[in-house]
Copies of this chain bind each other. A is one copy, B any other.
Amino acid sequence: MRLSKYFLPILKENPKDAEIVSHRLMARAGMIKQQSAGIYSWLPLGKRVLDKVCTIVREEQDRAGAIEILMPTVQPADLWKESGRYNDYGQEMLRINDRNEREMLYGPTNEEMVTDIFRSYVKSYKNLPLNLYHIQWKFRDERRPRFGVMRGREFLMKDAYSFDLDYEASQAAYNRMFVSYLRTFERCGLKSIPMRADTGPIGGALSHEFIVLAETGESQVFCHRDFDGFAVPSADTDYADDAAIAAIVNKWTTPFAATDEIMEKEDWARQAWDGLAEDSRVSARGIEVGHIFHFGTKYSEPMKASVQGPDGKQHFVSMGSYGIGPSRLLGAIIEASHDDAGIIWPEGVAPFDVGLINMKPGDAGCDAACERLETVLGNAGLDVLYDDTDERAGAKFATADLIGLPIQIIAGPRSVAEGNVEIKIRATGARETLSIDEAINRLTNGR
């Protein structure tokens, strides 16, 4: 992509209402534009990162055996009356009357609708286990939307829903999502720590939040230092092996970990924390990036979602739900990975792999070198953003640092005349002069 033909509206000033660094950087890097309180447009650079994050989420859901569907954003109120949540949900639910005065709502979550899908089609335990997920826009009419896309009103959510014959099978489904979440966040460049959590309006007995540690995190969290050494399960983890998956979950839930909410509410948490040796305690700021719930028959009973079991009898299915907000996750990545100059994208989610900076467009040598690099790297499957604009050097460098592509290639007239370019690694700031061929080899190595 050539920057001269792209739409990358860089802002010089921080938006006045941007309280946190990810909001400031996303606005300044031309990733998002606010359209109303808590409602954002995703500009081209932001859309690219959002797609990358969703691809990772999707691949890890698929790997763990979940199946993708897509439910609508607008739901009939009747479903929510069946579960009893229509009145419970309060003002966060965006309620709508259609032209025929039917009560509708903009879905804040989809337990009811997916349970309706399940009961419409699935009649036998032989069709279980089943886990259906979708990635769809949700709306929660927050009293005080803020922090950019981290707490928006209209936000993207991946929500998965598992259906099983009994509690034990449902626990195995919960475990698969637990492991899948560890992998998802790691692929986004984040180390997440699962913490026992409050279940809130989703309900149920068992719940974990996945928390990323970041100095700018929204809440205080408490955990054991042991998590530092834990390796995230690899891509060839066998999700069909319930015992192996349970062992991973067991390992990751054994050391102490709790949010401040739990610390305040639950005596056991405070006691466990107090019992830890001083040098085992990590108290830090954290950001919630995922939340999983095991709620058994909370929805299947009132909504009559049952299957025939091997015993010939009807059983209400045992369910769980599993949420990741890709738009929120993107904010968390920036909170965890930035410096004074801008964003530092982890490789898996960078909007482009390489920023190619032509220091003197119009100079025959620079143009030829850049066009060659653009073509060769593109053919090798790298996404290149080629800055072919007439901006002055300082502005080009500032933009490249702000938008945070992992690798910058700088082609200036003097080095190009000697057959060289400069390579800069955004994360470390390391710069190196290489011949153009060496640069190509380095960047396409293994591709």
Contacts and interface: CB of A to CB of B under 8 A. Distances in A.
B35 A71 contact: yes
Contact of A33 (B68, B74, B120): B120
Interface string A115-153: 011001110000100101010010101010000000001
- Chain multiplicity (copies): 2
A12 interface: no
A73 B71 contact: no
B106 A74 contact: yes
B98 A141 contact: yes
Contacts of A113: 35, 41
Contact of A75 (B36, B71, B121): B36
A68 B41 contact: no
Contacts of A69: 7, 41-44, 47
A265 interface: no
A264 to B, nearest CB: 27
A44 B74 CA distance: 19
Given A6-B67, A130-B7, A137 B41 contact: no
A67 B94 contact: no
A72 B41 contact: yes
Contacts of A98: 94, 141, 153
Contact of A137 (B9, B44, B50, B137): B137
Contacts of A116: 35
Contacts of A96: 94, 96, 106
* Most chain B beta carbons < 10 A, residue from A6, A33, A50, A154: A33
Nearest to A142: B99
A72 to B, nearest CB: 5
A138 to B, nearest CB: 10
A104 interface: yes
A39 interface: yes
Contacts of A9: 120-122
A210 B71 CA distance: 28
A235 interface: no
Contacts of A68: 44, 47
A74 B117 contact: no
A302 B265 CA distance: 55
A273 to B, nearest CB: 37
A379 to B, nearest CB: 16
A69 B351 CA distance: 13
A91 interface: yes
A187 B107 CA distance: 34
A40 to B, nearest CB: 6
A373 to B, nearest CB: 21
A59 to B, nearest CB: 14
B74 A39 contact: yes
The 7 closest A-B pairs by CB, nearest first: A9-B121, A42-B70, A36-B76, A91-B99, A41-B71, A99-B141, A72-B154
24 contacts: A6-B67, A9-B121, A9-B122, A30-B121, A35-B72, A36-B76, A39-B76, A40-B72, A41-B69, A41-B71, A42-B70, A43-B117, A44-B69, A44-B132, A47-B68, A47-B70, A47-B134, A74-B154, A96-B96, A96-B106, A98-B153, A99-B141, A106-B106, A137-B137
